Structure 1
């Protein structure tokens, strides 16, 4: 039988023999995944998804749903017309094979959708530059068990979709000459075994090189010196040679190929010392580079380590320690003074101050009381707290920050994308040029074969654009890591570059420049003293939940002004409220309420107009016979706003603009208080987009700062969208290009300064890399550049670029 329609519009549930069928046109407050999960809980069976083609409109989906739901062997069926998908649940696993045939009877085509696993993430070690990442991608990409693979050199991460085991993935990466280990921030496996120290390849290779060099001056047999050099080459060059083999097999020209070619070539022409020096310098340079770049990657690992792995959970009359991964929402955590908070939650009992700097970057602890939200990774400064868990370990604010930062660090900036394209063309060209230099001049009778072969080898070494390729990504990783530590999420290199080019910033007023909460700004007592006026107002307003009423009550509480005993509390819709105090009827409301009661306000009209023009909302307090006084309520400028705007001017932002729906008088006053240069007043929400476009038409690069929800159109229109208060709202974290985790502008000047510094360092890196390459190329032909100098110029330049980029990590 059918249950009655449960909605006046479109929300309906048809039940056929305990079947739940949800129409594709139905509205629901729950996400689809949640509804399907609930459906799967109601029976013990399988659930599969099919792609459906041939549907013309939502009614086709309804027809298909109702038709299939009549079958006894189908528990639930849902067809999503927009997505072209159908989900079916059944206790009979054999039914799924017949679904395409059943669907065809209704005039549609269906094909089972094979579930795809989310790419696994592995940490890769041993990469020297971006071309090493390309080698791994090409090697693994040729494996039939690998659906997709993406390797990012700057973060050292590999994202791979595959059907291999972890061990097989690691072995495949090792075949390419690198090491890999499964990476996930959620599970931090701790082994009792001490890590095995790697063989000191660079040290041994260097010692053999030094002994051979000294031996050549100490009358050591020449064959023994050659053996020492050769052994140094083999030990130091084994790993690069293995990597070079797989790079060539993957049709990739990376630094390993060039170095191995140079070492072998030097040995062929009898330059054993040169060959050994090339290999040792290359190994030393790589070791230093890896150590340096690991420090930039630590910007994320430090975030991961903010949260404790265990939490104390209230259980019955006692407390138990539990791994954070095993804790469910609703459980009560016990947080002692000085403890880090393990999971996001809501305070149940206790009052304390919490240091939220790891999440929001705020310099001062924030007072917390029952009902307030606390975040994983923050520190409880004082007072014991009982906190109800509201999010699982993988869903906490810090977890989402880590995920967003990792994604951001792997997004290529426009500069990086250009350099990668340039390097892809440049390297093969120089490689071919090196081969021509080895062959063409001696064939033409200019010089000896060994002379030009040596110059060609030097050019091979110089050819690899390692320093150039890493000039941008390492700087971006460092800058984004620095920003994340200071409570700012930059969604990628593109937005980092845009932030550095911003010339004007448009601010939404309410909640951005101001508190967003009204406060009493002035009390004007006419016929009673101010304390009594406030006491009367508090008595009347105590029964109201209106924001203005709350402002009056808060003002009275701050000054310890108590309410009087009242009765007959009545709200006057849209005008105010009334109460009887000591037998007299008092009113609190808009000035026009008293005008309607027949009272003259002529003696205070001028003052009322002036205060309203300054952005105040007025509450008049009085009786039926006279007005006793006025209370002015207004949204107040944040204490930190003025300082932040001053700092933004100091870092070179040419114009600060305020966007507000207030009248021009209020806007002018607020602009003067905050220090903004210009304002647009009396704006409807859609007018903010027009205001942003006007600034862009004036030739400015515009950033829009808002709350990430109401200001979404303006945020999207601006060259850069910046949302505030990301720690409290998921929407802000998802919508904007840059998110200020704290609910204030304190970190915005740092963000602009960091972005501009990053742009400067990227330009320095690029020019330094190009000039170094050019100088090396010029010095090859006169014979000034030896092989070991060529290696030093390449690895040295890469190391200097990395160290220069790391300065962004320490920018305060």
Structure 2
């Protein structure tokens, strides 16, 4: 679902396991008006891409069609508008999460308050614990049974959600984890009720004692309590995956001061700010919305948004972004983009969208989860019947096998393995300044073996700078002042490099007479009565200025070093040689070395001539260079590499590199470029080149994390389902208790979540 602005998001409540999300996704994908859909169990959302013409009857009709389809599956869907305020949505979700945890906690307390004495009463005689004679299974079997029933009823009522959700889904032919729990505990409960009735109807003590052996209230009660505990622990762990979003949300202040027309200041909530409002920003406060400085000046800490380590000075007319921190002076800003339109809000939206997406590796788990529950029911039934009729086990023991298999095989861990890792990894990536657009980009980043860089603006700073100056018998500043005076009138890109350097040295431009720009050669003019030439060797030779062999060697050396030589001459003599270049980013050589150490092939593409491109590549530490390529040629280079079996990541500025970014397995857009990334890139590098290494490392760590989770989830079922089915009984070993099965199932889900949370520590 790459680069499609028409992706619609829905919240889906009521999903309990991987089978739920897989079934929901399959049902949505089958709908006539849906092109593709992805349902995430981890954050309970669905991302839907409408088919061509699906919205012709209006968005409301399409949303109604989707929600009704999901509702028929037994879940509850609600539409999340794209322009919804992310802060309000997050606050709403946090409140819902807190309420859900509080509800689970209340139910958990109720269940264990009754489950613990229930187990003590039911198993006390086996453990050597004395029971009063009025409660003894030998002396008072009916009271013994009824007392357990009384303790079980509050537990069943507290865990009624298993039955309320699971049984309707089972009747629809779409069972999920709740269905397994409802079937297992329900079977144990019904058999226990039948045995209680037999005790009450027993004529002799022997008949009553025989019926006591059919009581499994403690299995039903403790199973509900243990599975509820596992789901509670899982929910608590999953709340920690939202820390990245929380950190981004906290960058925006809740209150702001607005300048009124009469000059007074009024405090109001950030959500009330409108474009055009004038806001007072004091030292130590964060910028609430995007806008421009209207009055005053200050320094901003932009590290939270761009990773820029040094404070950035701003003055009237400069743009400021929401989430950045005002360090020094107060200033007045005019709001331009508010609410969901700010760069910070769009970053948050991008992270949330990525967290709800799926990686291709999730497909296997989804397909297995979809068919796993019906298979488990079949295995449980077959195992119970086999032990009952072929293994000569009593009905009660065969029932225990049935319940144990149903419970131990719940595919929760399987369904959580991939989405939990993606949620945590994309959140961690955002904290490190790397925005992944979706799970596919995250997974693909982990497979990359070739990284291709654009040169200008990617490996280099993107703006020419004067990096060398050599004079022939005159003062450096005098030569630079003369050159800057000529270039102040020019519009050539190289002119800015000269005038900037002059400005940095405090040199003022002088009046120019008779200025003339000579295409492809340079400029001429008169300054302080002197006829000046400034340009390349061709310009000078056309005006009779010839260079010595030593001077020619120096000029050639500059070109070989990737610098563009600018020659200043007057009265037939060379006065100075200036070298202008687009300098490498300071971090470039280190990033290239680290990528090589990670086993990646590194290439550079450039539209520059071969000599300049190779000079820059040499300083960066890159041997593989393709020079003189146009934007469409870059795309062809990426295609050629892919045809050789390489998995290619392309890093560029996202404008002229758009075709190559789109063609690559993973396109990485430099800078804050949210707009650009939405168009072409899969990954946004908010903090520049170091983000490439972060993206690759995070992708590889996520894949390893997912594989480990899937290994344990699959291994758990492969190992414990046969044990629950009674394989050990064949060799004289014990049968698995349903209570132990419930505890194991819950712990498996929690272990998968905790494994995913390890990605929060990725460096």
* Structure-2-length-normalised TM-score: 0.82
| CA distance in structure 1 between the aligned counterparts of 2:40 and 2:332, rounded to whole angstroms | 42
Counterpart Cα distance in 2 of 1:542 and 1:139: 66
- Gapped regions of structure 2 (runs ≥ 5): 1-5, 49-58, 136-143, 192-213, 729-733
Alignment partner, residue 640 of structure 1? 587
Which deviates the most, 502-511 or 322-331? 322-331
**Which residue in 2 is equivalent to 1:188?**
88
Q: Say whether the 8 Å CA contact 1:177–1:246 is kept in structure 2.
A: no
Aligned in 2, Cα 1:348/1:569: closer, same or farther, shift over 3 Å?
Answer: farther
Q: Residue 77 of structure 1 corresponds to which residue in structure 2?
A: none
* CA shift for structure 1 position 186: 4.4
Structure 1 Cα separation of the partners of residues 673 and 266 of structure 2: 29
Shift of 1:624: 3.4
Choose the corresponding residue for 1:618, options 556, 565, 572: 565
Alignment of 1:452-463 (within 5 A): 452-463=398-409
**1:503–1:702: 8 Å Cα contact kept in structure 2?**
yes
What is the match of residue 69 of structure 1?
none
CA distance in 2, matches of 1:433, 1:253: 14
Shift in Å at residue 347 of structure 1? 2.6
Q: Distance in 1 between matches of 2:88 and 2:607?
A: 50
Normalized per residue, which structure has more helix?
Answer: 2
Structure-2 residue corresponding to 1:731: 676
Do the aligned residues in 2 keep the contact of 1:707 with 1:724 (CA within 8 Å)? Answer: yes
Give the secondary structure class of the aligned counterpart of 1:523: strand
Contact 2:118–2:148 (8 Å) recurs in 1: yes
1:125-183 Cα offsets, whole Å, 9 max, x none, are x65423345688899999xxx9x9985321123679868999xx99x989958898989
Q: Is residue 712–residue 735 contact of structure 1 (8 Å, CA) maintained in 2?
A: yes
Alignment counterpart, residue 131 of structure 1, candidates 19, 42, 45: 19
Which moves more between the two structures, 233-242 or 547-556? 233-242
1:373 positional shift: 2.5
Greater mean alpha carbon deviation, residues 463-472 or residues 686-695 = 686-695
Aligned to 1:263: 185
CA 1:140 to 1:476, structure 2 compared with 1: closer, same or farther past 3 Å? closer
Match of 2:257 in 1: 312
Note the aligned Cα RMSD (angstroms): 3.5
Mapping 1:249-288, distance limit 5 Å: 249-267=171-189, 268=191, 269-288=214-233
Match of 1:383? Answer: 329
Identify which of 781, 790, 793 aligns with 2:741.
790
Name the SS for the 1:578 alignment partner. strand
Check 1:424–1:122 CA distance in 2 against 1; reply closer, same or farther (3 A cut): closer
Once the 2 structures are TM-superposed, how far is the Cα of residue 260 of structure 1 from its aligned partner? Answer: 1.8
Aligned equivalents of 1:739, 1:177: Cα separation in 2? 35
Rate the CA distance shift 1:445–1:120 in 2: closer, same or farther, 3 A. closer
Answering whether residue 146 of structure 2 is matched by residue 208 of structure 1, we say no
Contact 2:716 2:748 in 1 (8 A): yes
Q: Distance in 2 between matches of 1:163 and 1:276?
A: 45
Deviation at 1:712, TM superposition (A): 1.6
How far is the alpha carbon of 1:372 from its aligned partner?
3.1
Q: Structure 1 CA distance, aligned partners of 2:234 and 2:87? A: 28
The answer (yes or no) to whether the contact 1:139–1:246 under 8 Å persists in 2 is no
Give the counterpart of 1:584 among 530, 535, 545.
530
Q: Tell me the distance in 1 between the aligned counterparts of 2:432 and 2:757.
A: 16
State how 1:168-247 maps to structure 2 within 5 Å: 184-186=84-86, 188=88, 198=103, 200-215=106-121, 216=124, 217-220=129-132, 221=135, 222-223=144-145, 225-247=147-169
2:637 pairs, out of 691, 700, 710, with: 691
In the TM superposition, residue 673 of structure 1 has moved relative to its aligned partner by 1.1
- CA apart distance, 1:248: 2.3
Q: Which of these residues, 594, 600, 603, is aligned with residue 654 of structure 1? A: 600
Cα–Cα, structure 1 residues 691 and 469, in superposed 2: closer, same or farther, change >3 Å?
A: same
Q: Please, which moves more after superposition, 563-572 or 588-597? A: 563-572
C-alpha deviations, 1:645-694, integer Å up to 9, x for none? 233234x1321111112233323321221122421223233322232234
Partner of residue 236, structure 2: 291
The residue correspondences of 1:148-159 to structure 2 (distance < 5 A) are 152-157=40-45
Distance 1:165 1:584, change over 3 A: closer
Distance 2:300 2:735 in 1: 63
Contact kept in structure 1, 2:450 and 2:647, CA below 8 Å: yes
Find the residue that maps to 2:603 and give its secondary structure.
Answer: strand
Shift of 1:806: 0.9
For structure 1, the 5+ residue unaligned runs are 1-116
CA distance, structure 2, for counterparts of residue 182 and residue 201 of structure 1: 30
Alignment of 1:79-118 (within 5 A): none
Cα distance change, pair 566–666 in 1 and its aligned pair in 2 (3 A): closer
Partners of 1:779 and 1:365 lie apart in 2 by 62
Q: 1:225 and 1:364 mapped to 2: Cα distance?
A: 71
C-alpha contact (below 8 Å) 2:295/2:316 kept by paired residues = yes
2:292 paired residue among 336, 346, 363: 346
Structure 1, 460-469 or 628-637: larger mean CA deviation: 460-469
Alpha-carbon distance between aligned partners in 2 of 1:360 and 1:248, rounded to the nearest angstrom:
51
Cα 1:149/1:720, change in 2 over 3 Å: closer
CA gap of 1:445–1:638, structure 2 versus 1, over 3 A, is closer
The Cα offsets for residues 272-292 of structure 1, whole Å up to 9 and x where unpaired, read as 222221111001000000111
1:186-245 Cα offsets, whole Å, 9 max, x none, are 463989x99875371111211212223344434141246413541353244222221213
Q: Deviations over 1:552-579 (max 9, x none)?
A: 1211222333444554544444433334
Equivalent residue number for residue 752 of structure 2:
801
1:775 aligns with 2:719: yes
Measure the CA separation in 2 of the matches of 1:543 and 1:496.
Answer: 49
CA distance in 1, matches of 2:580, 2:467: 6
Q: CA deviation at 1:123?
A: 7.1
Q: 1:175 to 1:582 in 2, by over 3 A?
A: closer
* Residues 382 and 747 (structure 1), Cα distance of their counterparts in 2 relative to 1, 3 Å cut: farther
Map residues 424-435 of structure 1 onto 2, 5 A cutoff. Answer: 424-435=370-381
CA distance in 2, matches of 1:729, 1:304: 17
Of the structure 1 ranges 566-575 and 506-515, higher mean CA displacement relative to structure 2 is found in 566-575
Distance 1:420 1:554 in 2: 59
Cα pair 1:393 1:399 within 8 Å, conserved? yes
Q: Which residue of 1 aligns with 2:209?
A: none
The Cα of 1:441 is off from its aligned counterpart by: 4.1
Q: Deviations over 1:405-439 (max 9, x none)?
A: 22222222111122101221222122112112222
Does structure 2 retain, via aligned residues, the 8 Å contact 1:437–1:453?
Answer: no
Deviates more, 1:565-574 or 1:174-183: 174-183
Aligned with 2:276: secondary structure?
Answer: coil
Change (3 A) 1:138 1:671: closer
CA spacing shift, 1:227–1:158, aligned 2, 3 Å = same
CA separation of 1:322 and 1:761: change in aligned 2, threshold 3 A: same
Q: For 1:501, what is the secondary structure of its paired residue?
A: coil
Residue 754 of structure 1 corresponds to 698
1:506 has 2:452 as partner: yes
TM superposition shift of 1:444: 4.1
Higher mean displacement: 437-446 or 756-765 = 437-446
Residue 320 to residue 399, structure 1, CA distance change in 2 (3 Å): same
Pick one of 336, 358, 362 that aligns with 2:304. Answer: 358
Write the distance in 1 (CA, Å) between the matches of 2:531 and 2:28. Answer: 84
Alpha-carbon distance, 1:584 to partner:
2.0
Match of 1:469 among 415, 433, 437: 415
Q: Which has the higher contact order (CA 8 A, sep 6+)?
A: 2
* 1:423 matches 2:323: no
Return the alpha-carbon distance in structure 1 between the equivalents of residues 79 and 545 of structure 2. Answer: 81
